[in-house]
Chains A and B, each alone.
Chain A
Amino acid sequence: MAMLEVKGVSRFFGGLAALTDISFGVEKGDILGLIGPNGAGKTTMFNVVNGFYPPSKGEVYFKQKKISGLKPHQICKMGIARTFQVVKPLQRMSVLDNVIASAFLRVKTRTRAEEIALDTIKFTGLLDDRDVISKGLPLGKRKKLEIARALATQPEMLLLDESFAGLNPAELDESIGIIRRIKERGITIMIIEHHMKVIMAISDKIVVLSYGQKLAEGTPKEIGNNPLVVEAYLGEAESA
């Protein structure tokens, strides 16, 4: 069953087509990798799914229900949580309070919210930093906090926007572990990532965007052998 279906989505900013007629689906329990050169429209795609930008054309369905046109908070309530590429911690709140704030989505009392939040930060390895004001966190931990906060809303689907960018190799391994464990919990994941090794290793399916168009779609193996992709994406990296 397709968890998320993107049907013919276009998004224009004035005369600029950031996305043109994009269609793909994400199966329940899968990890879908969304890749493409800078400016390909990956984050715009997330913003459309998450509700920040309504699509100019086309529709998005989540569990067979139309979500395009809804507000971000409604989409989050339905079960889609996201992280931001440019991390957005609630700066003057502690790590724990950040996660408590998002845990309140599904529970009423502070005690229950705190339980969920503690579980979540344990899961993401932030337990020792729970009382740190998030303004003072190093980047690696801020990225983890983004994931923790999204998870605390108890989503069925998680959108991860470059959760690995800027991490050192040790942090990278740790984060891959976290994502694999999120998948084990049965949460469907859509991920934007530039680390080709990571994306090839964890994705069940990959969608390639380039200049707002869908260039290719397939398993990591198919994508790796697709000449169009190699030219548009990997080829560029080689010449750099």
Chain B
Amino acid sequence: MRKALPLIIAGLLAVLPLLGLSSYWMHILILVIMWSVIGMAWNLLGGYCGQVSFGHAAFFGVGAYTAGILYNKAHLSAWWGMPLSIVFVTIVALIIGYICLRLRGPFFALGTLAIGVILRVTAENLTGITEGDLGIMLQERTWIDKTWYFYIVLALAVVTFIAVKMIIESKLGYYFVAIREDQDAAESLGINTTLYKTVALSLSAVFTGLAGAFYMNYMGYIDPKIVFALHDISIVTIMVVMVGGVATYWGPFVGAIIMVFLAEIIRTIPKLGAAHHTFFGILLIVIIIFLPNGIVGDLPKLKKLLRIGKAA
């Protein structure tokens, strides 16, 4: 049963579009799956390897801009951005890794935060390449209907899930967790911590970048404030994983469902709609206090709490 769970969930998701869902619901589903991908990617670096990044928008944005610039300047299909983003995002990740991975703990987090902001400002000002704040718009999207976008992002999610699982159960996974638990001990056990942190960062960046390239194709419009956003990308990425469950396979998926729905629900509340960051902040505080391992990570604890709730 447990082993079949990923298959069952992927199967269920795959038949969902056949139900004839409205365009709005398809959009929500696509966002949930896209955020799961970003969450799983962040989890590799932040959850398993213990290097908390506050700058994943950097990779998301570079992925999105790879697709956008290819379309805008080279007049190629923006879909080429998906394979090509792997190259560009890896290069950016190696540079960021070289700068930031010598920093530990909170200093690494601050370093990545700064880099995310630097890339946003750069994209805003390199108007010759990125069109700056005007952004890049696809003259026409590949499909009007959302079904194919759904299957493409679902395929990306399945690949990411399998990749993460294979990585975590291999030598790499053990090395990542060893580095998270104690970098000095890991180093003295023969683990080249600098190398493996760079590997974790690059893998994490590539999957995030793929999600970014998909976003360009799907949404048809990007600008620096959207794809390099600190709040709406970098912080939400962390929240997806924190809420769902750090270093768990299903945490990012659960977190993505909650975060996307929460954002939608809050948006419909009159007057309070614009304050969704406030609600995210409150949610994060509650999660950190009561479920520090996230919903999936603290599932036994959560079940216990709910049972007490019923009895009382």
A108 CB to nearest chain B CB (Å): 7
| Binary contact track A88-108/B, C-beta < 8 Å → 1, others 0 | 111111000100111011001
Of the candidates B170, B190, B191, the one whose C-beta lies within 8 Å of that of A110 is B170
Chain A residues closer than 8 Å to B181, beta-carbon distance: 89-93
Question: A73 with B187: in contact, given A91-B181, A93-B181, A110-B169 (CB under 8 Å)?
Answer: yes
Asked whether A11 is an interface residue with its Cβ less than 8 Å from the other chain, the reply is: no
Asked whether A191 is an interface residue with its Cβ less than 8 Å from the other chain, the reply is: no
Chain A residues closer than 8 Å to B193, beta-carbon distance: 73
Complex: chain B residue closest to A159, CB-CB: B188
A62 CB to nearest chain B CB (Å): 14
Of the candidates A82, A104, A113, the one whose C-beta lies within 8 Å of that of B188 is A82
Complex: chain A residue closest to B183, CB-CB: A88
Complex: chain A residue closest to B170, CB-CB: A110
Complex: chain B residue closest to A100, CB-CB: B174
Q: A172 vs B182: C-alpha distance in the bound complex, in angstroms?
A: 27
Q: A90 vs B181: C-alpha distance in the bound complex, in angstroms?
A: 5
B171, B182, B185, B193, most chain A CB atoms within 10 A? B185
Asked whether A36 is an interface residue with its Cβ less than 8 Å from the other chain, the reply is: no
Chain B residues closer than 8 Å to A90, beta-carbon distance: 177-178, 181-182, 185-186
Q: Which residues in window 19-56 of B have CB below 8 A to A?
A: none
Q: A180 vs B256: C-alpha distance in the bound complex, in angstroms?
A: 55
Of the candidates B174, B182, B184, the one whose C-beta lies within 8 Å of that of A104 is B174
Asked whether A77 is an interface residue with its Cβ less than 8 Å from the other chain, the reply is: yes
Asked whether A149 is an interface residue with its Cβ less than 8 Å from the other chain, the reply is: yes
Of the candidates A71, A74, A149, the one whose C-beta lies within 8 Å of that of B189 is A149
Cβ of B189 and Cβ of A153 under 8 Å apart?
A: yes
Q: A93 vs B186: C-alpha distance in the bound complex, in angstroms?
A: 13
Cβ of A101 and Cβ of B189 under 8 Å apart?
A: yes
Q: A92 vs B246: C-alpha distance in the bound complex, in angstroms?
A: 13
Q: A91 vs B177: C-alpha distance in the bound complex, in angstroms?
A: 10
Q: A73 vs B185: C-alpha distance in the bound complex, in angstroms?
A: 10
Chain A residues closer than 8 Å to B184, beta-carbon distance: 52, 84, 88
Asked whether A20 is an interface residue with its Cβ less than 8 Å from the other chain, the reply is: no
| Binary contact track B94-120/A, C-beta < 8 Å → 1, others 0 | 000000000000000000000000000
Q: A105 vs B190: C-alpha distance in the bound complex, in angstroms?
A: 6
Q: A78 vs B300: C-alpha distance in the bound complex, in angstroms?
A: 44
| Binary contact track A198-232/B, C-beta < 8 Å → 1, others 0 | 00000000000000000000000000000000000
Cβ of B185 and Cβ of A84 under 8 Å apart?
A: yes
Chain B residues closer than 8 Å to A124, beta-carbon distance: none
B171, B178, B189, most chain A CB atoms within 10 A? B189
Cβ of B174 and Cβ of A73 under 8 Å apart?
A: no
Cβ of B188 and Cβ of A76 under 8 Å apart?
A: yes
Chain B residues closer than 8 Å to A82, beta-carbon distance: 188
Cβ of B175 and Cβ of A104 under 8 Å apart?
A: yes
Q: A88 vs B186: C-alpha distance in the bound complex, in angstroms?
A: 9
Chain B residues closer than 8 Å to A91, beta-carbon distance: 181-182
Chain A residues closer than 8 Å to B175, beta-carbon distance: 101, 104
Of the candidates B169, B177, B191, the one whose C-beta lies within 8 Å of that of A73 is B191
Cβ of A73 and Cβ of B190 under 8 Å apart?
A: yes
Asked whether A41 is an interface residue with its Cβ less than 8 Å from the other chain, the reply is: no
| Binary contact track B172-207/A, C-beta < 8 Å → 1, others 0 | 001101100110111111111100000000000000
Question: A50 with B189: in contact, given A97-B174, A101-B178 (CB under 8 Å)?
Answer: no
Complex: chain B residue closest to A76, CB-CB: B190
Asked whether A55 is an interface residue with its Cβ less than 8 Å from the other chain, the reply is: no
Question: A71 with B192: in contact, given A97-B174, A101-B178, A104-B171 (CB under 8 Å)?
Answer: yes
Q: A101 vs B171: C-alpha distance in the bound complex, in angstroms?
A: 7
A85 CB to nearest chain B CB (Å): 12
Of the candidates A93, A108, A149, the one whose C-beta lies within 8 Å of that of B177 is A93
Q: Please, could you name 7 A-B residue pairs with CB atoms under 8 Å apart, sorted by A?
A: A52-B188, A73-B189, A88-B185, A90-B182, A101-B174, A101-B177, A102-B189
Given contact pairs A91-B182, A97-B174, enumerate 13 new A-B contacts (beta carbons under 8 Å): A71-B192, A72-B188, A73-B192, A74-B192, A88-B185, A89-B181, A90-B177, A101-B177, A102-B178, A102-B190, A104-B171, A108-B171, A149-B189
Q: Which residues of B contact A (CB under 8 A)?
A: 169-171, 174-175, 177-178, 181-182, 184-193
> Which 6 pairs show the lowest CB-CB distances between chains A and B?
A76-B190, A90-B181, A88-B185, A105-B190, A102-B189, A101-B174
